[in-house]
Amino acid sequence: MRFDAPSDPAAYAFTHHLRVRFCETDAMGVVHHASYLAYLEETRVEYLRAIGRPYDQLRAEGVEFPVVEAALQYRRPLRFDDVVDVGVVVASAGGATFQMNYLVGCGGVASATCVTVHGVVDGQGRPTRVPLWLRELAAG
Amino acid sequence: MRFDAPSDPAAYAFTHHLRVRFCETDAMGVVHHASYLAYLEETRVEYLRAIGRPYDQLRAEGVEFPVVEAALQYRRPLRFDDVVDVGVVVASAGGATFQMNYLVGCGGVASATCVTVHGVVDGQGRPTRVPLWLRELAAG
Amino acid sequence: MRFDAPSDPAAYAFTHHLRVRFCETDAMGVVHHASYLAYLEETRVEYLRAIGRPYDQLRAEGVEFPVVEAALQYRRPLRFDDVVDVGVVVASAGGATFQMNYLVGCGGVASATCVTVHGVVDGQGRPTRVPLWLRELAAG
Amino acid sequence: MRFDAPSDPAAYAFTHHLRVRFCETDAMGVVHHASYLAYLEETRVEYLRAIGRPYDQLRAEGVEFPVVEAALQYRRPLRFDDVVDVGVVVASAGGATFQMNYLVGCGGVASATCVTVHGVVDGQGRPTRVPLWLRELAAG
């Protein structure tokens, strides 16, 4: 993993919007740091749908993208009811893993920059190659 | 609490749509039963916004609606990526508490019927009276 | 479901102890109401282990106990780092479902009384009969 | 942040034991990647208690340790009911932040290595210096 998630929104291929739930906050009055992983996951799924590769269909075909690494830099807290913009891009893809970068923002201000690295497994949980269409996204 | 949440969508004042996140599923392959409470909460917040009473503004004014009772009847499981429709209505309101009913559905089929009962507290956490506008909603 | 979970600790067959995590709190500064369902589930699992019926072994044998109803009455809030005592008992068992009652307490004070009703399904998700040992627990 | 969490259990100052909850699993049948952050948090809190610095007391005194960075490398999946051993150590501490390393294991096999970096804020949310006792732990 290279932690190179940029703060420039122009570096992202797709942006998903969601709203902070009350249950995602904690007793510090802000969004708990673990909730961001749910935001990244939701954004990843919406991005795959937007490019015609819905994740539930991939799963039905026996392909899963387990998270093998994740890294998050928290810059400014999010609060209940904030509208959150999550940019996502396939940053790189090799034979066995691929990396996605994320910019989590609110009102035009960066809240967090994040990275996830994914493996690819088949229906029996065996590692398999990163699909060509994902490698092409990374190259694009 | 009267558990009288009806299965008829026409009994609900407002419907909110959301999509099941992967992190909300469990090892049975379906949505974990606790995730429904997050769906009810999100729907409640969107309903309050739709009627011009945003919950974050109510909180800023020192009013909170803590959940004092909840009841859920699970009828059919939800799965990852399902689009979920949650109907909500203020079922009743007394001096100190009010009850909301919910119909959680997917593809026109009822997945769960639910009830939450809420108290009303002020900024210092002291119980206070149910606001008039909420009592009027219940009567409507 | 009969909501008859008593407030008397003597009415419970087994008590499990756990500690509130920070991530289980919300911006009201107390434990979020959905977190209680995780406490009930953890207690249920520990109770089954204590009576020699570990749930992961039941699952390996193709038996699952999905939650078909849940009801919670919240009496006093829990806070971060509280040590929580959860009493549990099999309240009743019929041919197709069984009910468990719970008393959630902290420092000798009742925090919540709760009920879950469970179905029994086999490895293919088909409803099956409540095992005899569970019916005997209910009668005990 | 230097991602230098070692796989050698001897490198950790304290080990906490916990058990995987069913609600922490997902539809892949394993523990969801976000649940690990809850395990790290619980371990951090127990470590602070063990060294005589209970986090709820620190919070009562107006000190909080918000997470400003987190990184996780997932090596082997965890499953429902697994007993998890989480080693923790203060890896480094500067004037404004400190880093903790974690080894998440199960049955003597490494499941994940993780890092969290924390700021220190006072009761008004203003950044403040890392306490001396924490800097001494890092040096130890």
When the pLDDT of each residue in chain B is averaged and rounded to a whole number, the result is 96
Q: What is the DSSP string of B66-134?
A: -EEEEEEEE-S---TT-EEEEEEEEEEE-SSEEEEEEEEEETTEEEEEEEEEEE-B-TTS-B-PPPHHH
DSSP string, A29-85: SSB-TTHHHHHHHHHHHHHHHHTT--HHHHHHTT-B--EEEEEEEE-S---TT-EEE
Q: Which amino acid is at C13?
A: A
Choosing from A4, A8, A26, A82, the catalytic residue is A26
Closest by CA position to A96, among listed A126, A59, A53: A126
Q: By the CB < 8 Å criterion, does B81 face chain D?
A: no
User: Across the interface, which of A22, A42, A55 has its CB nearest the CB of B41?
Assistant: A22
| pLDDT beneath 70: ranges in chain C | 1
Q: Percentage of residues in chain B with pLDDT exceeding 90?
A: 93
A42/A104 Cα distance (integer angstroms) = 12
Residue C119 CB burial class (10 angstroms; 0-12, 13-18, ≥19): middle
At residue B9, the pLDDT reads 95
* pLDDT per residue as tens digits for the range C3-44: 889 999 999 999 999 999 999 999 999 999 999 999 999 999
**Confidence band for A50, pLDDT divided at 50, 70 and 90:** very high
Tell me the CA distances in angstroms from A89 to A8, B137, D74, one per residue in order. 12, 45, 21
Closest partner residue to D56 (CB to CB) among C38, C45, C80 is: C80
B2 has pLDDT over 90: no
Question: How many beta-carbon pairs under 8 angstroms link B with C?
Answer: 52
Specify the pLDDT at position B22. 98
CA gap C32, C18 in Å, rounded: 16
Q: For A115-136, what is the mean pLDDT?
A: 94
Tens digit of each residue's pLDDT (9 = 90 or more) over A97-119: 999 999 999 999 999 999 999 99
Contact D37 A33 (CB under 8 A): yes
- pLDDT(A2) > 80: no
Ranges of each domain in chain B: 9-139
* 3-state secondary structure at position A21: coil
**10 Å Cβ neighbour count for A55?**
20
Nearest in space to C130 (alpha carbons), one of C73, C53, C60 = C53
Tell me what pLDDT residue D67 has: 98
* Candidates C4, C26, C56, C122; catalytic one: C26
> Shortest Cα distance from A17 to chain C (angstroms)?
22
Do A67 and D33 make contact, defined as CB atoms within 8 angstroms? yes
CB B39 within 8 A of CB B84: yes
Kindly state the percentage of chain D with pLDDT values over 70. Answer: 99
Q: What is the pLDDT of residues B84-138, one digit of tens each?
A: 999 999 999 999 999 999 999 999 999 999 999 999 999 888 999 999 999 999 9
Phi, psi at A26, each rounded to 5°:
-135, -175
Q: Does D33 touch chain A (CB under 8 A)?
A: yes
Single pTM value for the model? 0.97
pLDDT at residue B1 is higher than 80: no
pLDDT at position D5 = 94
Concatenate the DSSP letters of all residues of B7-61 into one string: S-GGG-SEEEEEE--GGGB-TTSSB-TTHHHHHHHHHHHHHHHHTT--HHHHHHT
pLDDT tens readout for residues B42-88: 999 999 999 999 999 999 999 999 999 999 999 999 999 999 999 99
Calpha distance A6→B101 (Å, rounded): 44
Reported confidence tier of residue A13, pLDDT bands at 50, 70, 90? very high
| Contact criterion met (CB < 8 Å) for C26 and A30 | no
B113 Cβ contact partners less than 8 Å away, ≥ 6 residues apart: B5, B6, B7, B72, B73, B75, B101, B102, B103, B104
Nearest Cα residue in chain B from C36:
B34
**Are the C-beta atoms of B75 and B108 separated by less than 8 Å?**
no
Give me the pLDDT at residue A123, please.
83
Mean pLDDT (whole number) for A8-32:
97
Confidence of residue A1 (pLDDT cuts 50, 70, 90): low
| Residue listed under structure tokens 């020192």 | B62
CB contact under 8 A, A22 and C26: yes
Distance in angstroms (rounded) separating the CA atoms of residues D104 and D77: 11
ipTM comes to 0.96
- Cα C113 from Cα C100, distance rounded (Å): 11
pLDDT in tens, D59-107: 999 999 999 999 999 999 999 999 999 999 999 999 999 999 999 999 9
Confidence of residue A124 (pLDDT cuts 50, 70, 90): confident
HEC letters along C55-111 = HHHHHHCCCECCEEEEEEEECCCCCCCCEEEEEEEEEEECCCEEEEEEEEEECCEEE
The CA distances from residue D70 to A12, C121, D55, D63, in Å, are 22, 40, 19, 20
* Whether the predicted pLDDT of D53 surpasses 80: yes
Q: Do residues A26 and C27 touch, judged by C-beta distance below 8 A?
A: yes
CB contact C38 to D (< 8 Å): yes
Cβ neighbours of C55 in D, within 8 Å:
22, 81
Whole-angstrom distance, CA of residue A71 vs CA of residue A74: 10
- CATH H-level superfamily of A9-139: Hotdog Thioesterase (3.10.129.10)
In terms of C-beta distances under 8 Å and separation of at least 24 residues, what long-range contacts does D90-93 make, across chains too? D90/D13, D90/D134, D90/D137, D90/D138, D91/D2, D91/D4, D91/D5, D91/D115, D91/D138, D92/D2, D92/D138, D93/D130, D93/D134, D93/D135, D93/D137, D93/D138, D93/D139
Q: State the pLDDT at residue D1.
A: 65
H or E stretch covering A106 = strand A97-106
Residue B63 contacts C, CB cutoff 8 Å: no
Q: Are B22 and D23 in contact (CB < 8 Å)?
A: no
Both structure tokens of C34: 């959905």
Structure tokens at A70: 């994740």
Cβ contact C27–A22 (<8 Å)? yes
Instruction: Check if the beta carbon of residue D57 is closer than 8 Å to that of residue D46.
Output: no
Q: Does D37 touch chain C (CB under 8 A)?
A: yes
Per the annotation, the verdict on C26 as an active-site residue is yes
